[in-house]
């Protein structure tokens, strides 16, 4: 992970990392001093202190892995929990180092060894790794010899720190801190080691833990229940203090409870420490089994509670906010003010999609009366680092951290420069403002950061490229108009500058329809009438309305007959697979591969059967569907439209 960037984010939420940590530590330490909860005299006198420190710390790797499994790592509370765990880890390692120096009879040797290894990692090992990353060509692979050397070096670092009087964990930990995150080096190391660690060594280790647990070692249920109660009180105190800290940040108490549950997540690191204590004869089999049960019980309770209580698609609301947390703020193209600045979020997975996105932005016809602010987001899958990131790209920044950023993500720099160069050197230079971003997150939760940015910047339109591996479903979580651009083999962007969305529009209607669709059909008719009233008589606009009778198969046949010289086809996203009979579904089975994301007609039009796949398709989905679902649950009085927007510099305007 990138230590400097994570610490910079953690300083804003340091109270969540400090106060719950000390609340857990103090409560457990206090209970162990009471005669009722004192440990047996067979244990060393320092064992209560060791257990208090071990159970109070928030292990960053454990919390990160669990949030990733719960699909909450990119959520707002998930980001706060990660930052708080980093602060907790720093405090924990500082305490371990200071206590070891203070209690060690050879404290001078220990301090010298620790500082020497720290200087070696920062001033020798880190520059060497950056040199390897710099010499690796963009998009290329790190040499196998370097990968093997780094893997052996991690093991050697553990042995070296153990020989120097430190713990063998500190060596690999420091090596991971100084390693440059992301591609190409960190991603290559993860790809080469993840398989054997996650699918071979880790299961074997947990099997060893399971075999080491001995339930027959329990001799006194009184001691077992007392220890369980002490741990439970510590976890409850952490949740209560997290709730109070949330109030200091003007958050709702419910969010504080959820954060407390996230910080209580325990896992393999705590079990590993208990295993080491058992190997050193500090605890016996009874205590070890009881502590492992505490970890298992905590994991079994916290994860389901977090998943039940926290809905990441709802933004964090202030406790003094007048709006209810179920309130939805709608920003779509339909309710966007005319002759005003239009904000657009344009997402890109790879460099080949830049041309199509630029053509779409040009087709919006920006003018001085209708300028465009384009938030260009490069979407990258989370690999080679532990924390997701949404970061604005500053191409003019020449600080060392930014130089390393451009080195690790050269594609992001190229994409940002492509957007800026094209719009700055064209006739749209004064009316289009490009603000590039980088979003690193797992594909299944990538929509959290995109939707949050659109919410914060009051963006009414989000355009994402279609990717079969991206199942984040932006269209189901955004309260904005979402367009999915399917552009496989087209020449979008190479057409004349007069290209426009409204070059030709078709409407296919069907006489047989359900009563539930009456409201949507009325809305469609109203939109068509509004379009004709504003564009009728314009020689550059041609409108056709075609009515089809005879069922869904006739609609398919008519659409297939409308193949022509189109620059772009726009279609609404609507899933009506249940209205097809078996014969029709079998005849058009090739069109339903991605119907869940693109809708029935969107999947058909984007297939190679329509214009040989040479025509790009923009599948549009409005946040109105999300509003209708919410109306059924909370009523109409809690829904409103916000017309605020941002200017080209990203500042709020009322």
pLDDT confidence of residue 591:
56
Whether the Cβ atoms of residue 652 and residue 340 lie closer than 8 Å to each other: no
Q: Helix, strand, coil shares of the chain as percentages rounded to 5?
A: 55, 10, 30
pLDDT confidence of residue 551:
62
pLDDT confidence of residue 494:
54
Tokens of residue 253, six digits: 């108490």
Tokens of residue 402, six digits: 């930014």
Residues of the chain with confidence (pLDDT) below 70: 1-10, 104, 139, 315-330, 397-407, 428, 468-477, 489-520, 534-540, 550-553, 555-556, 559-560, 562-565, 574-593, 595-596, 608-613, 623-654
> 577-605: string of b/e by CB count within 10 Å (b at 16+)?
eeebeeeeeeebeebbebbebbbbbbbbb
Tokens of residue 540, six digits: 């550059």
Nearest to 443 by CA among 469, 412, 415: 469
Question: Could you tell me the domains of the chain?
Answer: 3-309 (1.20.1530), 326-502+625-654 (3.40.50.620)
Nearest to 476 by CA among 494, 456, 450, 502: 450
DSSP string, 340-385: S-EEEEEEESSGGGHHHHHHHHHHT---SSS-EEEEEEEEEE--SS
* Strand-pair category, 617-621 with 481-486: antiparallel
pLDDT confidence of residue 261:
93
Inter-helix orientation angle 221-248/14-33, to 10°: 150
Whether the Cβ atoms of residue 450 and residue 347 lie closer than 8 Å to each other: yes
Per-residue pLDDT tens over the stretch 62-88: 998 899 888 888 888 888 898 888 888
> 289-327: string of b/e by CB count within 10 Å (b at 16+)?
bbbbbbbeebbeebbeebeeebebeeebbeeeeeeeeeb
Tell how far CA 84 is from the center of its chain: 17
Q: Cis omega (within 30 of 0) on the bond before 567?
A: no
Q: Could you tell me the maximum CA-CA distance found in the chain, to the nearest angstrom?
A: 95
pLDDT confidence of residue 647:
35
Cα gap 90→640, rounded to integer Å: 44
Per-residue pLDDT tens over the stretch 228-245: 999 999 999 999 999 999
Whether the Cβ atoms of residue 347 and residue 295 lie closer than 8 Å to each other: no
Cα gap 267→10, rounded to integer Å: 22
Q: Please, is 547 exposed, middle or buried when counting C-beta atoms within 10 Å of its C-beta (0-12, 13-18, 19+)?
A: exposed
Whether the Cβ atoms of residue 146 and residue 153 lie closer than 8 Å to each other: no
pLDDT confidence of residue 645:
36
- CA-only gyration radius of the chain, Å: 29
């Amino acid at each position: 992970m990138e230590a400097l960037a994570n610490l910079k984010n953690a300083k804003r939420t340091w109270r969540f990392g400090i106060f719950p940590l000390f609340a857990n530590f103090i409560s457990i330490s206090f209970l162990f001093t009471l005669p009722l909860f004192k440990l047996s005299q067979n244990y060393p006198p320092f064992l209560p202190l060791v257990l208090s420190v071990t159970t109070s710390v928030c292990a960053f790797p454990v919390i990160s892995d669990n949030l990733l499994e719960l699909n909450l790592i990119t959520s707002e509370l998930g980001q706060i929990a990660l930052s708080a765990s980093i602060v907790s880890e720093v405090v924990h390692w500082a305490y371990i180092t200071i206590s070891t120096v203070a209690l060690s009879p050879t404290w001078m040797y220990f301090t010298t060894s620790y500082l020497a290894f720290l200087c070696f990692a920062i001033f020798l090992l880190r520059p060497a790794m950056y040199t390897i990353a710099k010499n690796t060509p963009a998009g290329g692979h790190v040499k196998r010899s370097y990968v093997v050397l780094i893997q052996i070096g991690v093991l050697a670092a553990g042995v070296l720190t153990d020989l120097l009087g430190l713990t063998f964990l500190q060596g690999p930990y420091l090596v991971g801190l100084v390693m440059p995150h992301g591609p190409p080096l960190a991603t290559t190391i993860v790809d080469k080691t993840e398989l054997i660690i996650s699918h071979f060594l880790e299961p074997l280790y947990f099997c060893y833990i399971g075999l080491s647990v001995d339930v027959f070692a329990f001799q006194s249920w009184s001691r077992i229940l007392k220890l369980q109660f002490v741990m439970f009180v510590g976890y409850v105190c952490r949740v209560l203090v997290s709730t109070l800290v949330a109030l200091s940040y003007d958050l709702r108490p419910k969010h504080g409870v959820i954060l407390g549950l996230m910080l209580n997540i325990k896992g393999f690191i705590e079990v590993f420490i208990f295993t080491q204590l058992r190997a050193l004869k500090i605890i016996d089999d009874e205590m070890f089994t009881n502590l492992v049960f505490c970890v298992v019980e905590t994991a079994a309770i916290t994860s389901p509670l977090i998943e039940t209580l926290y809905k990441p698609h709802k933004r964090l609301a202030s406790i003094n906010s007048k709006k209810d947390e179920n309130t939805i703020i709608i920003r779509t193209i339909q309710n966007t003010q005319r002759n005003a600045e239009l904000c657009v979020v344009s997402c890109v997975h790879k460099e080949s999609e830049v041309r199509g996105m630029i053509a779409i932005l040009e087709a919006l016809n920006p003018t001085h009366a209708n300028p465009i602010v384009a938030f260009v987001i490069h979407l990258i899958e989370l690999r080679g680092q532990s924390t997701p990131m949404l970061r604005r790209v500053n191409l003019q920044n020449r600080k060392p951290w930014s130089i390393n950023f451009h080195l690790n993500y050269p594609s992001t720099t190229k994409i940002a420069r492509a957007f800026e160069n094209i719009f700055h050197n064209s006739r749209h230079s004064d009316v289009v403002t490009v603000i590039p971003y980088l979003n690193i997150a797992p594909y299944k939760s990538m929509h959290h950061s995109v939707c949050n940015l659109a919410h914060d910047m009051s963006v009414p339109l989000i355009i994402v490229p279609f990717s079969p591996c991206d199942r984040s479903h932006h269209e189901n979580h955004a309260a904005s108009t979402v367009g999915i651009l399917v552009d496989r083999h087209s020449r979008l962007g190479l057409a004349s500058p007069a290209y426009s969305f409204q070059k030709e529009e078709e409407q296919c209607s069907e006489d047989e329809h359900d009563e539930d669709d009456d409201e949507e059909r009325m809305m469609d008719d109203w939109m068509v009438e509004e379009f004709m009233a504003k564009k009728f008589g314009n020689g550059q606009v041609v409108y056709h309305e075609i009515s089809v009778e005879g069922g869904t198969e006739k609609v398919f046949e008519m659409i297939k007959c409308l193949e022509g010289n189109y620059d772009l086809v726009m279609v609404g996203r609507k899933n009506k697979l249940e209205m097809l009979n078996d014969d029709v579904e079998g005849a058009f089975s090739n069109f339903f591969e991605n119907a869940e994301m693109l809708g029935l007609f969107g999947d058909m039009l984007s297939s190679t059967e329509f214009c040989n796949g040479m025509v790009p398709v923009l599948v549009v989905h409005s946040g109105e569907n999300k509003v209708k679902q919410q109306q059924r649950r909370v009523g109409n009085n809690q829904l409103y439209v916000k017309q605020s927007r941002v200017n080209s510099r990203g500042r709020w305007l009322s």
